[in-house]
């Protein structure tokens, strides 16, 4: 997801502590990935949601779709812009957050919680370690 620079302090640290039994990592395109076993939940970061403004529509991948890391997996539209959401890792979609069809505002209200986009059964869980941790993402955002 390509976004204009803006300061966002401590956002990644706040959300990385949300889940006790999982770990959250981030991409330079402002997607987050929360790993639980070999399944990953994916969404956009609070920084991305703030840059987009009010989200009015989300197009999600179908269950069973295979996505490649770096490839377009979803689309999010706001009053300001439409942006692609890229798959941070390769795998098969196991679920999509159907609640976003009726309430896309969940992306703005809780982007790293109830506003998740889809879940993946990962092709390679080791690739998760290559994504940014909360501290690295916070530093990345601060540098924008």
- What's the pLDDT tens digit per position in 19-60? 445 799 999 999 999 999 999 999 999 999 999 999 999 999
Coil, helix or strand at residue 17: coil
- What DSSP designation does 126 have? G
Q: What residue ranges do the domains of the chain occupy?
A: 11-142
Angle at 139 between CA 60 and CA 3, to 5 degrees: 40
Low-confidence ranges of the chain (pLDDT < 50): 2, 4-20
Cβ(32)–Cβ(24) below 8 Å: yes
pTM, entire model = 0.85
pLDDT at 22: 74
**Does domain 11-142 fall into CATH 3.40.50.10490?**
no
């Amino acid at each position: 997801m390509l976004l204009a620079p803006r300061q966002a302090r401590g956002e990644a640290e706040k959300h990385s502590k949300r889940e006790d039994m999982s770990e959250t990592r981030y991409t330079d395109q402002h997607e987050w990935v929360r790993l639980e076993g070999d399944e990953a939940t994916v969404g956009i970061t609070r920084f991305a949601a703030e840059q987009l403004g009010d989200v009015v529509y989300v197009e999600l991948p179908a269950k069973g779709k295979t996505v490649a890391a770096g490839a377009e997996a979803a689309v999010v539209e706001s009053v300001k812009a439409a942006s692609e959401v890229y798959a941070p890792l390769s795998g098969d979609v196991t679920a999509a957050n159907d609640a976003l069809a009726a309430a896309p505002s969940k992306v703005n209200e809780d982007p790293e919680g109830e506003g998740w986009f889809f879940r993946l059964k990962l092709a390679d869980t080791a690739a998760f370690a290559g994504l940014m941790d909360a501290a690295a993402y916070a530093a990345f955002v601060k540098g924008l």
